[in-house]
Structure 1
Amino acid sequence: MSFLGAQEIEEYLRDLSHGEISVTGRLVDASNATLYASCEVKERTLICIYKPIAGERPLWDFPDGTLANREYLTFLVSHWLGLHLVPPTVLRDGPYGTGMVQLWIDIDENVDLMEFFKEDNPELRNIALLDLITNNTDRKIGHLIPTSEGAVYGCDHGVTFHTEDKLRTVLWQWAKQPFSPAELELLQLARMLIATEKRDVVLGLIEEEELDATVDRIDRALAEKCFPEPNPDWPAVPWPPF
């Protein structure tokens, strides 16, 4: 469930793509350059997060300069599937070069995240499904954004779509639970979009072997018909978990 309507999302995407970005601060706890910014367009100002590719810290297991692409592709997959679990996100030029620009979403300060992430919440379950599709290797508690309207968003999706199975998350409460018919339909739709209908878009953001690995992963999920268990050969939970 998104508290933003389809037309409103399209308007945010248009404005984030064309507005003038001004950096006003930095999130100092982030490992990569994560800049708090405003996006001026016509009669309104949007608060957003801007992550320039130039500020990405090199990682041993991901190609340099690709994290913004992966963040944007995760938004696209969520958007194409109608899940709307990622705040409106674009890839564009900014004050420090090309990067990811994402609408800032206010968190509901009344929610205790240390308890919330453990709930059997349908929105969290949708995020777990998205993380499976995108092979998210860093789903921390602090990457969950419950809103006062009842929606839940996820952020920080730079380490996704790796060729190896690297799912690492705090959302393991549905391990081995069967997919619902609606979830199986979403997996089938994701496979069709990534493998065929949106293939050219996907290949503009990740490598072909990463696309093929994503399709293979979805195929395994469809064959197993249930959420995966933690991989014993890979840390199941990111560190730190928050």
Structure 2
Amino acid sequence: MDGGPDAMNGIERLLRGGELTVEGRLTEASNATLYCRVELDGASVACVYKPVAGERPLHDFPDGTLAARELAAYAVSEAAGWRIVPCTIERDGPFGRGMVQQWIEDTDLSGAVTVLKDLRSQDAEDWCPVLAVQLSDGSDAVLAHRDGPALRRIALFDVVVNNADRKGGHLLPLADGTVLGIDHGLTFHAEDKLRTLLWGFADRELEPVERAELEKLRDDEQLAGRLAELLTRAELAAFRERIEELLAVGALPGPDGRMRPVPWPPV
């Protein structure tokens, strides 16, 4: 993501105040997801617009709440200083109220996810094996994600927000080594719904900086107020409980005992 806080403030101003024009639709998305451009005072930025009216009903998430969950995920990312989620705001658009998020260009999924044919090779050293797969030629392989702080940060974020849908395709690796995350509509459920491709970090002890970030989230009253506007009381309580449990256990959780630990499709 380009620039620091000043650049982010400029993007937010554009997203909030610019004229929003729909240029296309992302047809692979399960909910209405529109590719748009916003223009203001001669400046423009591409974005994704997800109107609440275009959300598909789900059996385990309340209707019409996915946009609010995306906003809540962005609020947590910013409050912790992780800056994982692209700038995300709520506004009116051609199809009503919805979530609008900065579109990120020039990403390469191979920087985060790969298929390994030989776990003993030198090429496999920087990767965490997750899931056995069979390739189109019938040979066996392993789906893996890259090791390192960028994806570990997202793994911790996903535990905090209870992400039920961390597919590989929801990761946006950038050329500078940063990895962003998108599609956070299935988050903040009051029940444990964690489903992710990033299980390679399971059971790793929290680092001091991670404990400090979690404590910051726990004690942030401004964040609590914002989340109270977006989530139910039960969901907000569960958010706080997840942070307390992480701090008490002192390690990232693993997939053991989970009925569906990896989303489908995983990428």
Same fold (TM over 0.5): yes
Q: Which amino acid aligns with 2:252?
A: F
8 Å CA contact 2:14, 2:44 repeated in 1: no
Matched, 1:138 2:165: yes
**Candidates 183, 194, 206, aligned match of 1:179:** 206
Deviation at 1:111, TM superposition (A): 3.4
Contact 2:75-2:223 within 8 A present in 1 as well? no
How far the C-alpha of 1:4 sits from its partner, in A, is 2.8
Letter in 1 for 2:69: R
- Show structure 1 runs of 4+ deviating over 4 A: none
Residue 198 of structure 1 aligns to a residue whose secondary structure is helix
Give, as a single letter, the amino acid of the residue that structure 2 aligns with 1:218: I
CA deviation profile, 1:113-139 (whole Å, cap 9, x unmatched)? 532761112111100011011000000
Greater strand fraction, Structure 1 or Structure 2: 2
Partner letter of residue 29 of structure 2? A
Structure 1 counterpart of 2:227, from 187, 202, 211: 202
Please state how far the C-alpha of 1:43 moved relative to its aligned partner: 1.1
Which amino acid counterpart does residue 30 of structure 1 have in structure 2?
A: A
CA-to-aligned-CA distance 1:69-104 (integer Å, 9 cap, x gap):
000110111011111111111011111011110000
User: 1:219 matched to which residue of 2?
Assistant: 244
Q: Using the TM superposition, give the Cα deviation of residue 108 of structure 1 relative to its aligned residue in structure 2, in angstroms.
A: 2.9
Cα gap change, 1:228 to 1:110, in 2 (>3 Å):
closer
1:121 aligns with 2:148: yes
Contact 2:109 2:169 survives alignment (8 Å): no
Distance between the aligned counterparts of 1:73 and 1:20, measured in 2? 24
- Answer whether contact 2:109 2:173 (CA < 8 A) is retained: no
Counterpart secondary structure, 1:93: strand
Alignment RMSD (CA, Å): 1.5
CA contact (8 A) 1:87 1:102 kept: yes
Letter in 2 for 1:209: A
Is residue 107 of structure 1 aligned with residue 117 of structure 2?
Answer: no
Deviation at 1:217, TM superposition (A): 1.0
Shift of 1:191: 1.2
Distance 2:211 2:246 in 1: 9
Q: Secondary structure at the match of 1:204?
A: helix
- Write the distance in 1 (CA, Å) between the matches of 2:44 and 2:96: 21
| Residue segments in structure 2 that go unaligned for 5+ positions in a row | 115-126, 128-143
SS in 2 for 1:21: strand
Q: Is the 8 A contact 2:48 2:100 kept in 1?
A: yes
Quick one: which of 176, 190, 198 aligns to 1:163?
190
Match of 1:91 in 2: 90
Q: Does 1:188 align with 2:215?
A: yes
Helix, strand or coil at the partner of 1:118: strand
Instruction: After TM superposition, give the deviation of residue 225 of structure 1 in Å.
Output: 0.3
Distance 1:110 1:166, change over 3 A: closer
Give 3-state SS (helix, strand or coil) of 1:200's partner: helix
In 1, Cα distance between equivalents of 2:30 and 2:83 = 26
* Alpha-carbon displacement from aligned partner over 1:1-53 (angstroms, at most 9, x marks no partner): x5431110111111101111110100000000000000011111110000000
The alpha-carbon distance between structure 1 residues 231 and 68, as it changes in their structure 2 partners (threshold 3 A), is: farther
Contact 1:73/1:202 (8 A) holds in 2:
yes
Check 1:100–1:206 CA distance in 2 against 1; reply closer, same or farther (3 A cut). Answer: same
Structure 1 length as normaliser, TM-score? Answer: 0.95
User: Which of these two proteins has the greater Rg computed from alpha carbons?
Assistant: 2
With over 3 angstroms needed to count, the CA separation of the structure-2 counterparts of 1:61 and 1:231, relative to structure 1, is farther
Q: How far apart, in 1, do the equivalents of 2:257 and 2:245 lie?
A: 18
Give the AA of the match of 2:183.
D
Alpha-carbon distance, 1:199 to partner: 2.2
SS in 2 for 1:220: helix
Give the 3-state SS of the residue equivalent to 1:145 in structure 2: strand
